[in-house]
Structure 1
Amino acid sequence: MPDDPWFYVLAVPAIFLIGISKSGFGGGMGLLGVPLMALAVDPRMAAAILLPILCLMDAFALWAYRGLWHRRHLAILAAGAAVGILLGALTFEYVSTAAMRLLVGVIALGFVANWLFRPAAAGAPDPEPRLLSGTFWGAMSGFTSFTAHAGGPPVAMYLLPRQLDKSLFQGTTVVFFALVNLTKLVPYAWLGQFTPGVLWTALVLAPLVPPAIGVGLLLHRTVSQTIFYRLCYLLLTVVGSKLVWDGLDGLLF
């Protein structure tokens, strides 16, 4: 188990950010959890500690959003994610996490820029499932989720233009990541990521899950549809900027 007290100081806000993102807003804010915890431990260890906690959060969020998801969008995204997770497992020791973070960050910021500077096109609802784009973003999400728990932005980039009801939007992301995280357990175990210290640390942090999910649900229920979508785009901007910064830092320094 990590013996640095700063790890636990950082882990508390990290888990609350993830819980709020999972149950309140689908903009990908939860991926800030790994970078926070990685200030005190190896990033791969941080990711391994978080995965059982993510699965526990998924159980709470699935109950809260039971029956609230779009089946066709979910099916397309999940099919793509399976390919992305497999690719992530096979290339786990070879892919540069920094390069992947930079790529996802640039795409996320470009997506937000399109929304800002082309409001007429970005504001036009496109509710129909799109097989090619959904499979692509699902695969991207599965891959980045496997390598760095950074699967939120790609899913948001597919679902935001659909302009679903906010609860349907959030419920679809909840079910999607529940499937993704359960699938990731197998290759993580195969790669030897779940050491006894990792599992004990996850168990120690597990009591933070219910209050973190509760805060997210409270925010989701009290925020209007318009503000919800604006916050999702704002969070996507923050997260994209963070990914670009981390990617450049890892590649250049």
Structure 2
Amino acid sequence: MIYRFLLLFIVVSCSLTLQANPVVRVQFNDVFLDYAQQPRLSDLVAGVNTSANLYWPSASFYSLSSTEIHSLEQKKAKLLQRLTELHNYYAQHGDEGLAATTKKIVLELTPLQLAKKIVLPLDPDTVRIKTSLNPLIDAGQYLLVVAEKPATVALFGAVENSSTLLLNASEAADYLSDLKLLEGASASFLYVVPANADPFIAKVGLWNREFKAIPAGATLFVPLELRHLPSEFEDINQQILDLLVHKVVAP
């Protein structure tokens, strides 16, 4: 009798421990989806695909690994230090406009919430049909962001605006007419950071213009013109871009 009681106690205790410590936990809005074993990606997205209004092309998926977040925060701290040094360089050389632009980027970057973005196809129909696009999700904690189709495009960098309206059937250069670029901003190219794809360059100058569609949910990063950067800061735009890829997008 005592043996049977102890066995039952162990089984119940293990069950409660499993529930308290799921193998995979996914945060979606204010809801947590817990999995006792590794789910397929299709199981995960199907679990939240409860509305026809969800726009999956602009969805984002992040790992909430504390180690990865700590690494990103360290990179941000080092970048903020370098941007502050660049600001001081401009100020010491009397370039007030460039100093103000750099200061704006510092203030914009400081509160940025970061998490490791995982680029995977997230559309429920796509991952359900194609086995090769339906991997097991590794153990850990994640954040899934998906909402209705965004009406605006986020802006970052050497531009006064923080967002602008999403233009249908338009290219990157079409956005420039409604933007107020700051001193030192590049007028020849932008970086485009899609919600769930690798970033790319959009050429927007009069001499190099090419068609690049802007996907819904993207962030446009207006970089500093290379000719305005001292040689020791020539990689600053790339460093900013590397962090923007992992910016947590609000639903």
TM over 0.5: no
Q: If each structure's helix is expressed as a fraction of its own residues, which one has the higher value?
A: 1
Q: If each structure's strand is expressed as a fraction of its own residues, which one has the higher value?
A: 2
TM-score, length of structure 2 as denominator length: 0.25
TM-score, length of structure 1 as denominator length: 0.25
